[in-house]
Chains A and B, each alone.
Chain A
Amino acid sequence: MTIVVVMEQVPDVVEELAIAPSGTDLDRDAVSYVLNEYDDHALEEALLLAEASGDEVVAVGIDTTGELDQTLYTALAKGARRAIKLTGDFEGTWLSTRAAARLLVPVIQELGPRLVLTGVQAPDDLDGQLAPTLAALLGWPHASVVIGSELVDGVVQVRKELWGGITMTLELELPAVLGVQAARQAPRYVPISRVRQVMREASIETREVEAPDGLVPAVTTLRVPEQAGRAEILTGSPAEIADRIIELLRARGLL
């Protein structure tokens, strides 16, 4: 049996982000890409499920960056059995969630998995999150904000986090789609030497696909929030800052 993990590379928000002259996308030349952190959790959760059930994990991704190989090789090094990369005329574009889902559905249907896992959200999914979108197109049950899952007797038991520590436990018939917030345990570390070994020994299956309609999100303009700088900045040495803070608290009767 198969568990599919969908992995996406996203702009690294640790870096400074600039907006392209068009005003409708980031300046992609200045962007550096990283694996969406939630997808890393989705992979970990999938590997944990597969270790318990004997399923085979297949990592699938759409290469919008030209750098997806690194992500897929890492997934293979961590324990995925296969990696499939979808390529097409969309390198350097901001792919909408809907378009991504349309590209992924045929591959998923062909693989016939019992579960599809992906990150609960991505920094750029303006038109909604991937997991529910895939579920709608596939017609499968789903849950997002997943913080734990288990395969039992032909269903998947899923823990979905609401807020304030409240969780919802659901049983979904298979196949199902999960949007993972956090794997049961922190994503494992994979030594670089193993990744390099995998790069020598394993291969990534590449599929050429046609760019669908609605390829990019319908953005009118991107901008940087103006609110930054709302805070009055306290300057000086740590001692001076501490003095000012205490003064502020005293003035408001908070001390």
Chain B
Amino acid sequence: MLTTPERIAFVLLALASLLLTAHGVSRIVRAIARGQGRPNWRLFFHRVIPVSLDILLQRPIFRTRPLVSLLHAGVFFAFVFYGLVNILDLLEGFTGFSTLHRSGVAALYNLIADLLSVAALAGMLGLLIRRFGLRPFRFNQRVLLLPSVRFGISRDSAIVGGFILLHVGSRWIGQAVRVAESGQPDWSQPTASLVATLFHGWSEAALTTASHVTWWLALGLILAFLPYFPYSKHIHLFMAPLNLILREARPLGQLEPPPSSDGTIGAERLEQLRWYQLLDAYACIMCNRCQDVCPAHGTGRALSPAALEINKRYYLNRNLATFAGGATSPPLLEIATSKEAVWSCTTCAACVRICPVGNRPMLDLIDIRRALVNRGDPLDPNLQSALESLARYGNSFGKPARQRARWAKELPFSIKDARKEPVEYLWFVGDFASFDPRMQENTKTVAQLFQAAGLDFGILYEDERNAGNDVRRVGEEGLFEMLVEQNLAALKKAQFRAIVTTDPHTYNALKNEYPAYGFQVPVYHYTEVLAELLERGILRVQQPLRAAVTYHDPCYLGRYNRITAAPRRIIRALGLELREMPRHGENTYCCGAGGGQIWMDSGGQERPSEQRIREAVALGDDLRYFVVSCPKDMAMYSDAVKTTGYEGRLTVIDVARLVAVAIGIDGVEREAAPVESEAR
């Protein structure tokens, strides 16, 4: 029980603290509200229960780092429960109500509080030891960091960690003191009772003082911490759930049109980002998981998605009053990230998928690109010529549209012209599969497989254009729209039931982006079609293949669209032994070609594709094939096996070629590298 002066002091302090806190929170709300667009609050009611459940189960956190996630879970569950604990402790301070030595529900409460206190202390200590002892959070030298960030992250972590230790620790010791005061152990508080033995021999007065001091340290500390709370990383407690709840219900593979404000298309400054991109900064807990999975950061480039969010947060914290009041922010390229970083993003979305608080740093990068492209900022020369070719010819190869279906002339049969006769499947072949000589063999193989299966399919011939997936992601929205219009005009001429694509990028565009332009048709990837043809016995395996293979999930197939089973079903149907790389399925690692990177100079560093080949090689000396299902992967990995010196040991092969060998399509067996078949 507190003394009367203590009660008055607490109430006054609480009022002051809440006022200051409210002031801070309102600034942050006003700052976030400066972002473009407004949240759709109706989502709140749909999402609040499922998201709360996710959070209670800590599902977003356990996607990776199991041990650290466990520590986090300890702190998290303690925190949730401490809401109740703090209220009851407050009650105890003011009224003397106590759960000490009670039975029933109160005992259960005591037990949980006691155990969670230890879990929180252990968890927090573990997290602090990790952060300060192991120092796992490093940015590579090229990453732009605000000066305030370098020191700030450690300071904020220390404050928040210290607060939790002190708050929970004081409450825990306070309980021990109270147990000691009562003179006998409370079996519903085993650890507190254990600690209570330390206070043997203390005078009653000393124990009373200790009880008051720990009460104040536990609850008074909250009042001291509260005004700082909105500025601390601890605010992720509220911002992260809010972020997860208010996320637009939009497929990962569909971008919003660029934000547009004061004549700027895209985002050059903070306030030109959307509101949720500003919220991202406050949801971020600086765990750097996004950086760990980022192929650009992993190959020494200047991009760190984590640094982007952290920079935004620190800039805002330092300039919150002026920014919330309407001041113009400096360019994002000065305070958030660098131009080099913006142009190293492969849009693989690994950062988006891994983020436990629902942040999407990739979208910021794309919006900055949009602004750069629109402002006429000089582009990488290769990118520029690719865009010019796309505008002129509809492909990035600078080849006349008329040559698009040239590969088809080399087939022993002719492919239906979908513009002239109805077909069941419209095959949208894509640029790389159509024009790159290394890919054309695969393309012909796919055609032969479709033909062998008696599939009723056709192509758009010279009317097909690049679907625009990567054009949109380099920030050239106008060109993307032009390509969409041209493709829609061509598609309008054709009659078909469904689309099948070779390229996962094309798949993503047609499946997720085109519906926004009124195009709603079932879209399949060719691996889905082949898997079904094999399983239904329409394509029959003549010679099961015997080799150990691994399969690389393309980002735009595996992660964006969760098509991970179909290619694996094919591989198994052919009799191959599939060995998974550590990063597979939705956790796949980017080949480095996406988001327009395939058109840009990498700057001569190690490529993600080379790291990936090493990852595959580590699966065993007898691993024969690196199986791909994306023409860009074929290009990237064929190069990477050469540059890593594994040519001859590991063969990069398209899954369609393996199918062709297994079902015995004429001409393919000779060209494909010799696969051991059961017949031999």
Binding site for B on A (CB under 8 A): 12, 14-16, 32, 34, 78, 185-186, 188-196
User: B376 — nearest CB in chain A belongs to which residue?
Assistant: A188
> Is A188 in contact with B478, judged by CB distance below 8 angstroms?
no
> Is B373 in contact with A34, judged by CB distance below 8 angstroms?
no
**Chain B residues whose CB sits within 8 angstroms of the CB of A185 once the complex forms:** 378
B377-393: which residues lie under 8 A (CB-CB) from chain A? 378-379, 381, 384, 387-388, 391-392
> Is B400 in contact with A15, judged by CB distance below 8 angstroms?
yes
Within the complex, which residue of B379, B384, B481 is in contact with A192, where a contact is CB–CB below 8 Å? B481
Q: Given the interface contacts A12-B400, A14-B398, A15-B402, does A192 sit within 8 Å of B479 by beta carbon? A: yes
The winner among A32, A185, A190, A193 for most chain B CB atoms within 10 A is A193
> Is A195 in contact with B384, judged by CB distance below 8 angstroms?
no
Does B268 make an interface contact (CB < 8 A)? no
**Chain A residues whose CB sits within 8 angstroms of the CB of B392 once the complex forms:** 34
Does B477 make an interface contact (CB < 8 A)? yes
**Chain B residues whose CB sits within 8 angstroms of the CB of A193 once the complex forms:** 265, 374, 477-478, 481
- CB B257 to nearest CB in A, in angstroms, measures 11
> Is A192 in contact with B400, judged by CB distance below 8 angstroms?
no
- CB B103 to nearest CB in A, in angstroms, measures 72
- CB B206 to nearest CB in A, in angstroms, measures 75
The winner among A32, A186, A191 for most chain B CB atoms within 10 A is A191
- CB A157 to nearest CB in B, in angstroms, measures 24
B584-620: which residues lie under 8 A (CB-CB) from chain A? none
Interchain CA distance A188-B379 in the complex, whole Å: 8
- CB A114 to nearest CB in B, in angstroms, measures 25
Interchain CA distance A185-B398 in the complex, whole Å: 21
> Is B478 in contact with A189, judged by CB distance below 8 angstroms?
no
Interchain CA distance A190-B392 in the complex, whole Å: 13
Within the complex, which residue of B388, B400, B477 is in contact with A189, where a contact is CB–CB below 8 Å? B388
Q: Given the interface contacts A34-B392, A189-B376, A189-B387, does A194 sit within 8 Å of B399 by beta carbon? A: no
**Chain B residues whose CB sits within 8 angstroms of the CB of A186 once the complex forms:** 378, 381, 384
- CB B192 to nearest CB in A, in angstroms, measures 66
Q: Given the interface contacts A34-B392, A194-B374, A196-B478, does A189 sit within 8 Å of B402 by beta carbon? A: no
Q: List 8 A-B contacts (CB under 8 A).
A: A14-B398, A185-B378, A189-B373, A189-B387, A191-B374, A191-B479, A192-B481, A195-B478
Interface of A is mostly: loop
Does B476 make an interface contact (CB < 8 A)? yes
- CB A200 to nearest CB in B, in angstroms, measures 12
User: A196 — nearest CB in chain B belongs to which residue?
Assistant: B478
Binding site for A on B (CB under 8 A): 265, 373-374, 376, 378-379, 381, 384, 387-388, 391-392, 398-400, 402, 476-479, 481-482
> Is A191 in contact with B376, judged by CB distance below 8 angstroms?
yes
> Is A14 in contact with B399, judged by CB distance below 8 angstroms?
yes
> Is A32 in contact with B400, judged by CB distance below 8 angstroms?
yes
**Chain A residues whose CB sits within 8 angstroms of the CB of B376 once the complex forms:** 78, 188-191, 194
Interchain CA distance A188-B265 in the complex, whole Å: 18
User: A237 — nearest CB in chain B belongs to which residue?
Assistant: B671
Interchain CA distance A12-B378 in the complex, whole Å: 25
Interchain CA distance A190-B384 in the complex, whole Å: 9
8 shortest A-B CB distances, which residue pairs? Answer: A193-B478, A192-B478, A192-B479, A15-B400, A189-B384, A189-B379, A191-B478, A191-B374
**Chain B residues whose CB sits within 8 angstroms of the CB of A190 once the complex forms:** 376
Interchain CA distance A39-B387 in the complex, whole Å: 19
Q: Given the interface contacts A12-B400, A15-B400, A15-B402, does A188 sit within 8 Å of B378 by beta carbon? A: yes
**Chain A residues whose CB sits within 8 angstroms of the CB of B373 once the complex forms:** 189, 191
**Chain A residues whose CB sits within 8 angstroms of the CB of B381 once the complex forms:** 186
Interchain CA distance A32-B481 in the complex, whole Å: 23
User: B398 — nearest CB in chain A belongs to which residue?
Assistant: A14
User: A192 — nearest CB in chain B belongs to which residue?
Assistant: B478
Interchain CA distance A69-B424 in the complex, whole Å: 40
**Chain B residues whose CB sits within 8 angstroms of the CB of A32 once the complex forms:** 400
- CB A16 to nearest CB in B, in angstroms, measures 8
Interchain CA distance A32-B400 in the complex, whole Å: 9
Contacts A188-B376, A191-B373 known; 16 new A-B pairs at CB < 8 A:
A14-B398, A14-B399, A15-B400, A15-B402, A186-B381, A189-B376, A189-B378, A189-B379, A189-B384, A191-B479, A192-B391, A192-B476, A192-B478, A193-B478, A193-B481, A194-B376
Interchain CA distance A189-B377 in the complex, whole Å: 8
The winner among B378, B478, B481 for most chain A CB atoms within 10 A is B478
**Chain B residues whose CB sits within 8 angstroms of the CB of A12 once the complex forms:** 400
Interchain CA distance A134-B477 in the complex, whole Å: 40
Interchain CA distance A199-B381 in the complex, whole Å: 26
> Is B384 in contact with A194, judged by CB distance below 8 angstroms?
no
**Chain B residues whose CB sits within 8 angstroms of the CB of A191 once the complex forms:** 373-374, 376, 476-479
**Chain B residues whose CB sits within 8 angstroms of the CB of A192 once the complex forms:** 391, 476, 478-479, 481-482
- CB B190 to nearest CB in A, in angstroms, measures 68
Interchain CA distance A193-B398 in the complex, whole Å: 21
**Chain B residues whose CB sits within 8 angstroms of the CB of A34 once the complex forms:** 392
User: B402 — nearest CB in chain A belongs to which residue?
Assistant: A15
**Chain A residues whose CB sits within 8 angstroms of the CB of B388 once the complex forms:** 189
> Is A194 in contact with B478, judged by CB distance below 8 angstroms?
yes
**Chain A residues whose CB sits within 8 angstroms of the CB of B265 once the complex forms:** 193
- CB B22 to nearest CB in A, in angstroms, measures 43
**Chain A residues whose CB sits within 8 angstroms of the CB of B476 once the complex forms:** 191-192
- CB B243 to nearest CB in A, in angstroms, measures 30
Within the complex, which residue of A14, A194, A196 is in contact with B400, where a contact is CB–CB below 8 Å? A14
- CB A4 to nearest CB in B, in angstroms, measures 22
Interchain CA distance A192-B387 in the complex, whole Å: 10
**Chain A residues whose CB sits within 8 angstroms of the CB of B374 once the complex forms:** 191, 193-194
User: A35 — nearest CB in chain B belongs to which residue?
Assistant: B392
User: B258 — nearest CB in chain A belongs to which residue?
Assistant: A193
**Chain B residues whose CB sits within 8 angstroms of the CB of A196 once the complex forms:** 478
Interchain CA distance A161-B376 in the complex, whole Å: 28
User: A77 — nearest CB in chain B belongs to which residue?
Assistant: B376
Interchain CA distance A15-B374 in the complex, whole Å: 30
